[in-house]
Chain A
Amino acid sequence: MFDGLREKLRSVREVFGTSIQAASTPPAAEGQGAGAGAAPRTGPGLAERVKILVTDGELVLTEKQIQAPLQELEMVLLENDVALPVTDEILRRVKEDLVGKHRSIGQDPGVVILAALRDAILRVLGEGFDLPGYIRARDRPVKILFTGVNGTGKTTTVAKVGHYLKKLGFSVVIASGDTFRAGALEQIGTHAERLGIKIIQHKAGGDPSAVLFDAVEYAGAHKMDVVLADSAGRFHNRVNLMNQLEKMKRVMKPDLVVYVDEAVAGNDAVVRAEEFEKLVGTDAVILTKADMDMRGGAAISVAHTVGKPIMFLGTGQGYDDLMPFTPDLVVEELLGGAL
């Protein structure tokens, strides 16, 4: 999914590289002493043009000098759905990392940039989340509640995660926590049946908290490993619906609240992620529909905003289209091979 972003980042890196290289190459007109001169340079136009101090084989980058490539990087991030505040943050970090630092002249500018960028994005992405490891370390049943706004892929993701855990040998029960949306019971019921996963359902219109409660009871009585609770999609600005979710959480006492959003969402992704985190809490994030997306900026934005790990990426509508999210690998995919 990150193809687009990777492509673009590669070209930005080149721009950065050129800019640094230009900075480290003393202008020909200056002739002698350009590299070694300890004496401050005095040519009036020169200070403007060169904007760099070259001393003893080291160079110091100035802000002005990397301004153009930084702007380019900004464009690339924005075009790839990295939300504006997050873009600002990444740029700040890259800048911090580059400006004013002494770099030895022999150092490949590409490496310098790559390191700065990798560092910035890695810090923003935080750590991944090892779900099987987490489950193994906890008391059973491990209860997981899925939340998110309408249509992001919660129900499908519950099915996928159920399938994934089942393949790893865990016993799973699904709680059909969306009793509201038309067709919701049939949808998740079909998924569970196809996957051979036990499901707890109540009538349409029933209290979702009661469903969750029953599922947890069932899991306890049958010594199941994991309870996966679906919930109806809801917007963070609907107070009563958020209160209902709060109640579901109180009743279920989940070990994990997993917030599901789609990788193709734009700037609103950070707004709602923040609200969900504030109103019901979020322990980990799953981003779906990454197969639509050649960009992947939402991953960076959401991870940064809620400061919670991304657990999986949804990469299609099939049950196997679920990819554990490992920041190192993602960054490797983004920036690796770029050298």
Chain B
Amino acid sequence: MLDKLSSSLKDALKKLAGKAVVDREAVEELVRDLQRALIQADVNVRLVQALSQAVKTRSLDEQPPKGMSVREHVLRIVYQELLRLMGSRAEVALGPQKILLAGLQGSGKTTTTAKLARFFQRKGLKAGVICADTFRPGAYDQLSTLCGRVNVPCYGEPGEKAAEGIVERGLAALATSEVILIDTQGRHALEKDLIDEIIRLNQISKADHRWLIIDAALGQQARDQARRFHEAIGIDGVIVTKMDGTAKGGGALSAVSEIQSGIVFIGSGETIDDLERFDPDSFISRLLGMGDLKSLVERAEEAISTEEMDVQGMLRGKFTLRDMYKQLDAVSRMGPLKQIMSMLPLGGADVPSEAIDVTSAKMARYRVIMDSMTAQELDDPNLIGGSRIHRIAKGSGSSPDEVRELLKYYRLMQRALKGMRGGKFNLQRMMRKFSGM
């Protein structure tokens, strides 16, 4: 379902692909699809509206940089605007500190507390944790089991009713720990008593940092919940958990934009090592379901300088093995075709998946085979019949079947290219993408 969505965004982007000047109608359509993509990723609806307005205005007002297509121009603006919303990632000091963890019920606080202890421990710091959850059955067992596995001391008083006292005594007991992490019970914005409790825990612990743990799947609630926590204790970092599922984390993004504090870490699994530093680029790419945007923009720039091919000729249907050789050559310098295609929001138009699902090993193999062909054969593949196939196979140390497979692949590509003719995109641009990039 999400794939469908991101492909609709890709479709909208395709419409922009051939455009030389920014076209209001196309931009509006793109923005509409962008809105849907973001809403489906759980970005706050109000935020989406503000964002799409900004994208629209900037796309139409700003001149695309030289050599950059309209599509790339708009994409880049989308990317920049999202980046701005998200702020930079919050930094982590590698020194003595106390960190208080807070969040909704079941968001992953306890698991993350243990993961963080592990993180600091690996950085050579002496970590200790306090279980200040007096409510959830088994809370102490959970935390102490996790910490016990990595030899991190865990302070807790199962059965005790007041979290404040536990924190006080825990800090004293862990006096020799450099980094102290305080796990708290789950709570939400409407639970006034619990909000009051976290305010007191923050005061008592004199925590250096207060991190909010947010489940990647949290929906439109995220913004308001985050605001309440922020008002209560001043959140200065967010950790987005459960990013190993299929949720896109738009709720967390909305939270971060609301409280103006960066994301510190990403939780990506149930085990203690499943903690990753936050990377804004991959977060945005995932949000939009469109591959790695940052490297797209970078690579797109390099692309413009790569050798030109006989694009016009190809458009007339003249696509020879020689062209394919160049194509494979260009592609092999950039990594698997499939990956590149998925990076291109353009989606490579209607290239059949068999054409894309070629491994890099296979591509290298194809080039070796083509090295054994004559210039004539490369220019006019129709010449290649049974006996030539055998000669080429022998010359390249491959089997006739492999040569036939290559020819089949060539025809597939040729057909795909022909299919693009008369299409609604700018074919020249398309071809350059396809070959040189």
Residues of chain A whose beta carbon lies under 8 Å from any beta carbon of chain B: 75, 78-81, 83-85, 149-153, 181-191, 194, 235-237, 262, 264-272, 274, 289, 291-293, 295, 297-298, 317
Tell yes or no: B117 within 8 A of A by CB: no
- Which 4 A-B residue pairs are closest in the complex by CB-CB distance? A183-B142, A266-B219, A187-B138, A151-B106
Q: Tell me, yes or no, whether B196 is within 8 Å of chain A by CB.
A: no
* Contact pick for A274, options B1, B42, B219, B222, CB 8 Å: B1
Looking at the assembled complex, report how far the CB atom of B155 sits from the nearest CB atom of chain A, in whole angstroms. Answer: 16
Are B108 and A151 in contact (CB-based, < 8 A)? yes
Contact with A along B101-139 (1 / 0, CB 8 A): 000111110100000000000000000000000011111
Contact at A190–B217, with CB atoms within 8 Å? no
Which of B137, B188, B190, B215 has a CB less than 8 Å from the CB of A190?
B137
Which residue from chain B places its CB closest to the CB of A183 in the assembled complex? B142
Would you call B45 an interface residue if the criterion is a C-beta within 8 Å of the partner chain's C-beta atoms? yes
Binds A, one of B240-248, B352-360, B392-400: B240-248
Q: How far is the CB of A294 from chain B (nearest CB, A)?
A: 8
Please tell me if the beta carbons of B40 and A267 are within 8 angstroms of each other in the complex: yes
Closest CB in chain B relative to A45 CB, distance in Å: 25
A292 touching B190, Cβ below 8 Å: yes
Query: Which among A152, A191, A268, A317 is the interface contact of B42 at CB below 8 angstroms?
Result: A268
B345 within 8 A of A: no
Contact present for A265 and B217 (CB under 8 Å): yes
Alpha-carbon separation in the docked complex, A320 to B141 (Å): 25
A268 lies within 8 A of B246 (CB) = yes
- Does chain A have a CB within 8 A of B282? no
- Quick check: is B220 within 8 A (CB to CB) of the other chain? yes
- A291 near B245: Cβ-Cβ < 8 Å: no
Contact B190 A266 (CB under 8 A): no
Interface centre among B42, B137, B242 (most CB of A within 10 A): B137
A182 touches B246 (CB 8 A): no
Residues of B within 8 A of A297 (CB): 219-220
Decide if B218 touches A183 in the complex (CB within 8 Å): no
In contact, A152 and B106 (Cβ under 8 angstroms): yes
- Cβ contact within 8 Å between A85 and B1: yes
B136 A268 Cβ-Cβ under 8 A: no
Given contacts A181-B142, A182-B142, A292-B190, contact A187 B221 (CB under 8 A): no
B residues 213-240 touching A (CB-CB < 8 Å): 215-222, 225
Judge if B251 is at the interface, Cβ distance under 8 Å: yes
A185 to B142, CA, bound (A): 9
- Chain B, interface size category, equals 35 or more
Question: Do residues A264 and B218 form an inter-chain contact, with CB atoms below 8 A?
Answer: yes
Chain A residues near B145 (CB-CB < 8 A) = 182-183
B189 within 8 A of A: yes
User: Nearest chain-B residue to A85 (Cβ)?
Assistant: B1
- Say yes or no for B348: interface residue by CB 8 A criterion: no
Whether A187 lies near B137 (C-beta < 8 A) is yes
B39 within 8 A of A: yes
Whether a CB of chain A sits under 8 angstroms from the CB of B146 is yes
Write the B1-38 contact mask toward A (1 if CB under 8 angstroms, else 0). 11001000000000000000000000000000000100
Contact between B138 and A292, CB atoms less than 8 A apart: no
Q: Which residues of A contact B220 (CB under 8 A)?
A: 78-81, 266, 295, 297
Contact A266 B1 (CB under 8 A): no
Q: A85 to chain B: which residues have CB within 8 Å? A: 1
In-complex Cβ contact of B242 among A150, A184, A274, A291 (8 A): A150
Candidates A80, A150, A153, A272; contact of B246 at CB < 8 Å: A272
Contacts of B143 in A (CB 8 A): 182-183
B residues at A contact (CB < 8 Å): 1-2, 5, 36, 39-42, 45-46, 104-108, 110, 135-143, 145-146, 188-190, 215-222, 225, 242, 244-248, 250-251, 270
Contact status of A235 and B244, CB under 8 A, knowing A81-B219, A266-B218, A271-B1: yes
Q: How many angstroms between the C-alpha atoms of A84 and B250 in the bound complex?
A: 14
Count: A-B pairs, CB below 8 Å: 146
- Name the A residues within 8 Å of B225 (CB-CB): 292
Q: Could you tell me the distance in whole angstroms from the C-beta of B95 to the nearest C-beta in chain A?
A: 29
Interchain CB contact under 8 A, B141 and A182: yes
Chain A residues, CB < 8 A from B215: 151, 265
Q: Which of B39, B42, B46, B219 has the most CB of A within 10 A?
A: B219
* A268–B245 CB distance below 8 A: yes
Find B245's partner among A80, A83, A237, A298 (CB 8 Å cutoff): A237
Which residues of the partner chain A approach B42 to less than 8 Å between Cβ atoms?
Answer: 266-268
Q: Please give the distance in Å from B374's CB to the nearest CB on chain A.
A: 49
If the complex has contacts A80-B220, A265-B218, A267-B42, are A317 and B135 also in contact, measured as CB distance less than 8 A? yes
When the two chains form their complex, are residues B251 and A186 in contact, meaning their CB atoms are under 8 A apart? no
In Å, the complex CA distance between A81 and B41 comes to: 11
Could you say which of B146, B189, B270 has the most chain A C-beta atoms within 10 Å of its C-beta? B270
Are A191's CB and B135's CB within 8 A?
no
A266 and B106 contact, CB distance less than 8 A: no
Nearest-CB residue, chain A, relative to B188: A292
Min Cβ gap B160→A in Å is: 15
Tell me the complex Cα distance, A270–B242, Å: 16
Known contacts being A187-B142, A289-B105, A292-B104, is A268 close to B221, with CB within 8 Å?
no
A-B CB contact pairs (8 Å), 27 listed? A75-B45, A78-B45, A78-B220, A85-B1, A150-B108, A151-B105, A151-B215, A153-B105, A181-B270, A182-B145, A182-B146, A183-B139, A186-B137, A187-B136, A237-B244, A265-B217, A266-B219, A266-B222, A266-B247, A266-B250, A267-B247, A271-B247, A289-B106, A291-B190, A292-B104, A293-B221, A295-B221
A181 to B143, CA, bound (A): 11
Distance in angstroms from B248 CB to nearest chain A CB is 7
- The answer to whether A266 touches B244, judged by C-beta atoms less than 8 angstroms apart, is no
How long is the Cα–Cα vector from A269 to B42 in the complex, in angstroms? 11
Could you say which residues of chain A place their CB within 8 Å of the CB of B245? 149, 235-237, 268, 272
CB closest chain-B residue, reference A75: B45
**Is A317 a contact of B219 with CB atoms below 8 Å?**
no
Return chain A residues, CB-CB under 8 Å to B222: 266
Distance in angstroms between the alpha carbons of A185 and B135 in the assembled complex? 16
In the complex, given contacts A84-B5, A151-B106, what are 20 additional A-B residue pairs having Cβ atoms less than 8 angstroms apart?
A: A78-B39, A151-B108, A151-B215, A181-B270, A182-B145, A186-B138, A191-B137, A235-B242, A265-B215, A265-B218, A266-B42, A266-B251, A267-B39, A267-B219, A267-B247, A271-B1, A292-B189, A292-B221, A297-B219, A317-B105
